[in-house]
């Protein structure tokens, strides 16, 4: 899965600081939800979030949405975002246009 966020101008340093100090209980929740290989990239105010799920996004979203830990984390960051969803409340999904799996380097 890949989705996008847009930060408010001036929020870059706080956003990066907060993610350098992710709560252990939030990491445990991501594991419980079956989320793995979760990475966030930033280009100026644009955030690109890429993740994999073991049981699909619907399952992972249901587990995290039911969690008070996720609610606290989201609320603590809300002031940093300019845009996180479309008009219907759906994440700003990015759809893969190209993929080259390549070959891993020799061991």
Residue 23 has which token pair? 């709560």
Q: Which of 51, 33, 34, 59 is nearest to 93 (CA)?
A: 51
Cβ-based neighbours of 24, under 8 Å, separated by 6 or more: none
CA atoms within 13 A on the CB side of 99: 3
Q: Which of 3, 19, 95, 100 is catalytic?
A: 19
For this structure, is 19 an active site residue? Answer: yes
Catalytically active residues, by annotation? 19
């Amino acid at each position: 899965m890949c989705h996008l966020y847009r930060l408010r101008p001036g929020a870059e340093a706080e956003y990066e600081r907060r993610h350098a100090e992710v709560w252990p209980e939030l990491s445990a929740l991501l594991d419980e939800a079956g989320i793995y290989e979760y990475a966030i990239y930033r280009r100026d105010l644009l955030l690109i979030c890429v993740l994999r799920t073991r049981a699909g996004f619907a399952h992972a979203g249901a587990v995290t949405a039911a969690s008070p830990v996720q609610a606290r984390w989201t609320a603590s960051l809300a002031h940093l975002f300019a845009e996180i969803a479309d008009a219907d409340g759906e994440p700003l999904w990015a759809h893969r246009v190209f993929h080259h799996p390549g070959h891993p380097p020799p061991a």
